[in-house]
């Protein structure tokens, strides 16, 4: 059995200042904290694989803090994208159709 990952998810989520930071990657799922700046967007909260989705931070001044659980895993273990632009550039380079 793999070692469990134990953390205060709420604290990690609220303290995170990066667009995307992978906290844990297991064999079938991974835990990612995110911080969306005003006007930034990502996919929806609970989404079956392959379904189009989107979340938009409509605030003009505050970041939207959230955590996501990907299953199956989506990003290389330890991934940190400090900004949405950095994440988008990575996606273009590694997930071309």
| CATH number of residue 13's parent domain | 2.60.120.10
Is residue 18 one of the residues assigned to a domain? yes
Is residue 41 one of the residues assigned to a domain? yes
Single pTM value for the model? 0.81
Is residue 3 one of the residues assigned to a domain? no
Domain count, the chain: 1
Owning domain of residue 68 = 9-94
Q: For the chain, 97 residues long, give each residue's pLDDT as a single digit of tens.
A: 567 889 999 999 999 999 999 999 999 999 999 999 999 998 787 778 788 889 999 999 999 999 988 888 889 999 999 999 999 999 899 876 5
The b/e string for 3-36 (b: 16+ C-beta within 10 A; e otherwise) is eeeeeeeeeebeebeebbbbbbbeeeebbbbbbb
């Amino acid at each position: 059995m793999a070692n469990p990952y134990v953390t205060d998810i709420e604290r990690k989520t609220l303290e995170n200042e990066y667009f995307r930071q992978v906290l844990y990657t297991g064999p079938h799922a991974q835990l990612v904290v995110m911080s969306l700046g005003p006007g930034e967007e990502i996919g929806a909260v609970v989404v079956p694989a392959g379904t189009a989705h989107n979340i938009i931070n409509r605030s003009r001044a505050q970041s939207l803090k959230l955590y996501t659980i990907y299953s199956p895993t989506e990003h290389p273990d330890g991934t940190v994208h400090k900004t949405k632009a950095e994440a988008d550039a990575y996606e273009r380079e590694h997930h071309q159709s």
